Structure 1
């Protein structure tokens, strides 16, 4: 469990940096002191989506992130020689944040299990509704990310995911969380 917390800290730290970066973007679209770049010259392997969408469905509701206004990134993390990739997003209002991670390297046509995930809602400025990856997901079809495309032409990544998440302080009531993403670099 300690290991997965480290992955989440890395995911949300990156999302926070990217969120601040997006807020500091001037009207012409140029980045001020960019920490992550949206081109292949970035040696970190972390990419800020310039255009595209990330849609997440949970509790019969769909939440949409739009890279034109929200902060969405595809990240690669190396923790103690273990490699992970994932998606992280924060909406412009900073009321919804999301992150999932999967072990290994990203690539087109990849099907892989989800190793970590979290979805946070700031409901009314005081109360946070939190979902985290369920302890019962295991390695099965209800816990997978599929990358149709990755780093092909202007496409950063395109794919789908499905997993089970539990609401914090809710005994064993897992929710199916699914989504789709189509993110562009330029």
Structure 2
């Protein structure tokens, strides 16, 4: 049941991000440095521990492909959520063209030098004329093999978060397709 809640949490993050569009104005009431983004209607950017990155990169490597999200043009958020008295944190991103999105989450509270087990992860590809392709955290592996997220920095100076991760994703939820996915992130508030 707990894994199901974590996956639902990740889907909520990605669904909220799907309507995301960056603009240049900063609306009154948002945290200093947060750009106007339709994400703020779905995720409360004023919630403690939730931030829209303004600079930095999120790199996702799967097989022989690398997907790079750049906070200067794409939307990348660090999100903290309290769900049924359980705390979760994660990183979610969508490219400017809205054709690739990625999210990864973990149970617990984010802080520097955190190395914790992945609770949910998803990589989605979509095109107007074809069905979406989705890679999700495989339900066919044990919890200890789901992967790790390592935060080496968190909210230090202008760094929002910096670290690495690895996880095992399954294409379209199939038991026979496993892809080790690794990545790095170095996200900044200004």
Shorter-chain TM-score category? 0.7 to 0.9
- With normalisation by structure 2, the TM-score equals 0.84
Identify the residue that residue 73 of structure 2 maps to in structure 1.
Answer: 69
Per the alignment, residue 56 of structure 2 pairs with: 52
Which stretch of the first structure deviates more once superposed, 169-178 or 99-108?
169-178
Quote the Cα distance in structure 1 between the aligned partners of 2:103 and 2:77. 10
CA shift at 1:60, angstroms?
A: 1.2
Residue 121 of structure 1 is aligned with which of 113, 119, 125? Answer: 125
Question: Aligned residues, how many?
Answer: 177
8 A Cα contact 1:10 1:77, kept in partner: no
1:6 to 2, 5, 8: 8
CA apart distance, 1:170: 3.1
Stretches of 4+ aligned residues off by more than 6 angstroms: none
1:170 matched to 2:165? The reply is no
Q: Give 1:161 shift.
A: 0.1
Query: Structure 1 residue 59: deviation in Å?
Result: 2.4
C-alpha displacement of 1:10: 2.9
Change (3 A) 1:105 1:167: same
CA offset at residue 172 of structure 1? Answer: 2.2
Q: Which blocks of at least 5 consecutive residues in structure 2 are unaligned?
A: 35-44
Write the deviation string for residues 96-142 of structure 1: whole angstroms up to 9, x where unpaired.
001010000000011000000111011564221100001205224x6
CA contact (8 A) 2:138 2:173 kept: no
> For residue 181 of structure 1, what is the aligned residue in structure 2?
185
SS of residue matched to 2:97:
coil
1: CA distance between counterparts of 2:182 and 2:81? 22
Q: What secondary structure does 1:12 align onto?
A: helix
Relative to structure 1, the CA distance from residue 150 to residue 102 in structure 2 (aligned partners, 3 Å threshold; closer, same or farther) is same
Gaps of 5+ in 1: none
Tell me the alpha carbon deviations over residues 148-173 of structure 1, each in whole angstroms, 9 at most, x when there is no partner. 10000000000000000000053321
Q: Distance in 2 between matches of 1:172 and 1:137?
A: 15
1:150 and 2:145 are equivalent in the alignment: no
